[in-house]
Structure 1
Amino acid sequence: MKLLVDVGNSRLKWARLGATGPLAPGGVFAHAQVALGDALAREWRDLADIEAVHVASVVEPAREDELAAIVRERFGLGAQFARSPAAALGVRNAYAQPARLGVDRFLAMVAAQAAAPRLQVLASVGTALTIDALAADGEHLGGLIVPSPLLMRRAVIAATARVELRAEGRYRDWPASTDDGVYSGALQAAAGAIERFRAALAKRCGAPAALLLGGGGSDELAPLLPAAQRVHDLVLQGLAHWARSAPA
């Protein structure tokens, strides 16, 4: 049994991968403000027979070192951190310096390409909103990094003297309060970035592009993107392909 770990900026997700079959569900928790060792001791208390630990991480090296030490103490194994390559598993990285592409984005494209090779846009709403274009042959055509709607709302509040939210806003086509205006504006900005990127890709390639929408913040954005296919755990799914391809 292999243990797969996806460490995002805000959340840590994990799952188990057997020799055959799909991912076995694991757990998810917000890791940024918690004692990682205590949290993982609870999360992993029933795990046994782990033969390898594969990690997709976008956090700082010190946090990775902390996780590696926990894995070593708990399982007696070295954590294997995936890094974005120039090409692997049917996907070719657009970055001139391949490792600069977040490994979460690379692995999500691996999962999407494995599931359905086609012209597609992958939008993931986490701490940031990432938007990537993937051709049917697996070529990564580039992507955007945009503040998520939550970050946009926080930025407006932090950077303006007279914007003070009284309550969580609601989405309105024509907002008539500051609360609703900030909330609706952030969602429209994010949805607009995705739609504009998708339209530009269709124009470039002369064909419509499928739209995949995932990430922990995707629920509030989904109603504005009715054409989107909702996807879950693409990073872990891509990491599963990575782990299966790793040397024994």
Structure 2
Amino acid sequence: MKLLVDFGNTRLKWASVAADGQLRPGGVFAHADVPLVAELRREWGGLARVQSAWIASVVSSAHEQELAAFVRERFGLAARFVRSPAAALGIRNAYAQPERLGVDRFLAFAAAHARHARLQVLVSAGTALTIDALDADGSHLGGLIVASPQAMRLAVVAGTARVDARGGQFSQRPRSTADAVVTGSLYAAAGAIERFRASLVAAGETLPPILLGGGGADELEPLLAPVERVHDLVLHGLALWAGDAAAAGAPADD
């Protein structure tokens, strides 16, 4: 069994791939305010016959080392940390320094491209809001990193004396400060997505589809409809990577 880990800024998600090649859902937890090793012991206590552990990480080196040490202790394995390459899995990285592209974004591209090769916009509403374009040939056309709606709201509240977003709700014409802050953050995010999408085609041409995922997707979806909701693209991309690397006999990277 291959263990797959998406180690994000806020949450750690994991899954596994059995001998039949199917992705098996695992679990997810917010790791910022919990002892990582204690939580992993609970999450992985029942796992057996783990043959390799593949990690897509955007966290600090210290957190990676903590995870790697636990993988070695628990399974006797070297954790294999994936880094964004210039090209792999049918994807061509647009960054001049390929490793600077978050590996979560690269793996999501690979999963989306394998699912449907076309011009498309990938939106991940997580700790940050990422917006990327991928063409039918698998070329990354560039992308944006924007403050998430939640981060926008926190910034407004923190930087002003009498603004409070508690209890705020989306409204097309807000008539309270809290509603104005919440609605403004969502309009700002949706506007960035739509403006970026429109830049990909000539005026009057059909706009490419939006693939929307991440923990903040629910509140954005009504402003972007229709969208295609996607789940666990990073883990699906990591499964593709692990399968490709295993076939090529890639060594562990710890």
TM-score normalised per structure 1 = 0.97
- The answer as to 2:91 corresponding to 1:95 is no
1:180 aligns with 2:179: yes
1:70 corresponding residue in structure 2: 70
Distance in 1 of aligned mates of 2:106 and 2:174: 37
Q: Which residue of 1 aligns with 2:40?
A: 40
Q: For 1:220 and 1:6, locate their aligned partners in 2 and report how far apart those are by CA, in whole Å.
A: 23
Q: Contact 1:119–1:208 at 8 Å: present in 2 too?
A: no
Provide runs of 4+ in structure 1 moved above 6 Å.
none
Report sequence identity in percent. Answer: 65
User: What aligned pairs does 1:40-189 form with structure 2 within 5 A after superposition?
Assistant: 40-165=40-165, 167-189=166-188
TM-align CA RMSD:
1.3
Change (3 A) 1:108 1:141: same
Matches of 2:202 and 2:105, distance apart in 1? 23
Secondary structure in 2 matching 1:246 = helix
Which structure 2 residue ranges, 5 or more long, are not aligned?
A: 250-254
SS in 1 for 2:26: strand
Aligned length: 247
The CA deviation at 1:106 is 0.2
CA contact (8 A) 1:90 1:138 kept: yes
Q: Is the 8 A contact 1:16 1:26 kept in 2?
A: yes
Residue type of the alignment partner of 1:85: P
TM-score computed with the length of structure 2 as normaliser: 0.95
Q: Are the aligned partners of 1:6 and 1:235 in contact in 2 as well (CA < 8 Å)?
A: yes
1:138: Cα distance to partner?
0.3
SS of 2:195's equivalent?
helix
| SS of structure 1 residue aligned to 2:167 | coil
TM-aligned CA deviation for residue 134 of structure 1 = 0.2
Q: Equivalent residue of 1:219, what SS?
A: helix
Q: 2:202 and 2:63 mapped to 1: Cα distance?
A: 42
